[in-house]
Structure formats: structure tokens, C-alpha cells
């Protein structure tokens, strides 16, 4: 898997009206097909009286993509929604675009544009964010070293998650794995080789 990917920050929605048809775009961060299906069913239940509840989702696990036109002409609804997700490079997301028919036919081109717009509004409302794979790290230093050691960690793009004040000071932080060797060199320089950071597992964090 990639060291970074884009997803949406939160469940959200946006809507607009096109030739009296009301389109509501919903999005939600999901991890599995079960998550996506549950979200789709939730929107369908909320909008049981809508003409269409079109959806598409993209998952990192298995590089899985699915979509449904939900009764709209083939290729005019689900695929345009998925195209918006794909072109924005967004993963682990499900988008549902609900349509309340307003009595005016939009034509195939109009439908593609409308469902694309619904998906774009949903992603914008959900806030696309970048997730970065980081190493969970820790180090131990004495109280005299703490000030300069913590400063070096932060100057090296480490993000401090917790600090434990015990017999010595334990600093827990995360950073991109490739930056750890350079940090350890700096730590060795300022502590005469007494302090070294160790990383164990990796986890994804929002990359600012």
C-alpha cells in the first residue's frame, strides 16, 4: 500500500437544484464494503421517497470500486460519481447522490453533469484530507536533556503525542518512517550518543 492517501474527514452533504430536480450529495469515510453498504442503506431509508439514490465507493483494501445507477440510464449516474472520486484520488469513501425528480428531463449529458456536481459538493463538504503513514516512536531522556531533545523532535517533523514525567522523561511521538534515521543522528549529536528514538508499529495520521 502507498505511504499516503486521500480520504474525507467527515460525513457530510451538499445539495443543489437543476431544472427543478433536487440533488443531494452525501459522503462518508468508510473502511469496508459493509461500512459502505450500511451508509447507502441509511441514505436510502432517509430518502425512501426519492426517485434515485445513486452511489459509488472506493476502498483501499483490495483496490475495490463499486457504483450503481439506481435506475438512471446506464453510464449517466454511478460512473460519473465514481469518476469524481477517482479523479480526486480519494479512497475509503462512499458517495451517495439522491435525486428528487422535478418533472423535467435532463438528458444524458445533463444527468452526467448533475451527478458529477452532486459528488463534487459531497467531497467538498466532507473535506478531502491526506493521510500519511507514520512510525509510532518513543525515546527516554533525563530532565536536563528534555528541553533540547523535545525541540529536536519537533524540528525534525515529529509530532509529540504524549510525555511521561517519571524517573526520566519518556516522549512518545509519530513521524514519517524515513525521517527517523536523521532524527537519531541529531539526537546523538546533542546528547553525546545517550538518547535514541525507537519506532515500532506504523499508523496513518492526518498530514497537515
Closest to 47 (Cα-Cα) out of 19, 70, 80: 70
Which is it for strands 159-165 and 169-175: parallel, antiparallel or unpaired?
Answer: antiparallel
Q: How many residues does the structure list for the chain?
A: 208
Distance (Å, rounded) from C-alpha 138 to C-alpha 174? Answer: 8
For residue range 162-194, what is the model confidence (pLDDT) as tens digits?
999 999 999 999 999 999 999 999 999 999 999
Q: How many helices (H) and strands (E) does the chain have?
A: 5, 10
The answer to whether the beta carbons of residues 127 and 28 sit under 8 Å apart is no
Residue 108: predicted pLDDT: 92
Residue 1: predicted pLDDT: 41
For residue range 72-94, what is the model confidence (pLDDT) as tens digits?
999 999 999 999 999 999 999 99
Which is it for strands 21-29 and 12-18: parallel, antiparallel or unpaired?
Answer: antiparallel
- The sign of the dihedral angle between the CA atoms of 139, 203, 130, 5 is positive
pLDDT band at 207 (very low <50, low <70, confident <90, very high): confident
The answer to whether the beta carbons of residues 177 and 167 sit under 8 Å apart is no
Helix (H) or strand (E) run with residue 116 in it: helix 107-126
Which cell is 197 given? 528514538
Residue 2: predicted pLDDT: 53
Indicate if the pLDDT at residue 201 is higher than 60.
yes
Mean pLDDT over residues 17-41, rounded? 95
Which cell is 131 given? 493521510
pTM: 0.79
Residue 208: predicted pLDDT: 60
Mean pLDDT over residues 95-106, rounded? 92
Mean pLDDT over residues 22-34, rounded? 96
Residue 205: predicted pLDDT: 86
Q: Indicate the DSSP class of residue 41.
A: H
- Domains in the chain, please, with CATH? 4-126 (3.30.230.30), 131-207 (3.30.70.240)
Residue 4: predicted pLDDT: 86
For residue range 107-156, what is the model confidence (pLDDT) as tens digits?
999 999 999 999 999 999 999 999 989 999 999 999 999 999 999 999 99
- The distance of Cα 115 from the centroid of its chain, to the nearest Å, equals 21
How far, CA to CA in Å, does 172 sit from each of 59, 161, 166, 195?
Answer: 31, 6, 13, 13
Q: What is the mean pLDDT of the chain?
A: 93
Amino acid at each position: 500500500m502507498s505511504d499516503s492517501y486521500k480520504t474525507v474527514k467527515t460525513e457530510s452533504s451538499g445539495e443543489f437544484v437543476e431544472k427543478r430536480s433536487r440533488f443531494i450529495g452525501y459522503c462518508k469515510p468508510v473502511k469496508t464494503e459493509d461500512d459502505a453498504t450500511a451508509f447507502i442503506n441509511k441514505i436510502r431509508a432517509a430518502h425512501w421517497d426519492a426517485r434515485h439514490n445513486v452511489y459509488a465507493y472506493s476502498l483501499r483494501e483490495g483496490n475495490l470500486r463499486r457504483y450503481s445507477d439506481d435506475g438512471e440510464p446506464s453510464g449517466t449516474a454511478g460512473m460519473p460519481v465514481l469518476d469524481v472520486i477517482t479523479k480526486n484520488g480519494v479512497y475509503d469513501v462512499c458517495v451517495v447522490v439522491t435525486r428528487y425528480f422535478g418533472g423535467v428531463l435532463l438528458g444524458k449529458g445533463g444527468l452526467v453533469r448533475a451527478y458529477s456536481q452532486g459528488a463534487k459538493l459531497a467531497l467538498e463538504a466532507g473535506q478531502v484530507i491526506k493521510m500519511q503513514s507514520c512510525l509510532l516512536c518513543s525515546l527516554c531522556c533525563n530532565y536536563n536533556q528534555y528541553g533540547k531533545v523535545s525541540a529536536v523532535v519537533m524540528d525534525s517533523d515529529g509530532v509529540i503525542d504524549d510525555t511521561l514525567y517519571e524517573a526520566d522523561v519518556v516522549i512518545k511521538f509519530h513521524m514519517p518512517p524515513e525521517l527517523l534515521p536523521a532524527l537519531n543522528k541529531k539526537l546523538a549529536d546533542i546528547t553525546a550518543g545517550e538518547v535514541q528514538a525507537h519506532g515500532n508499529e506504523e499508523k496513518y495520521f492526518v498530514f497537515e
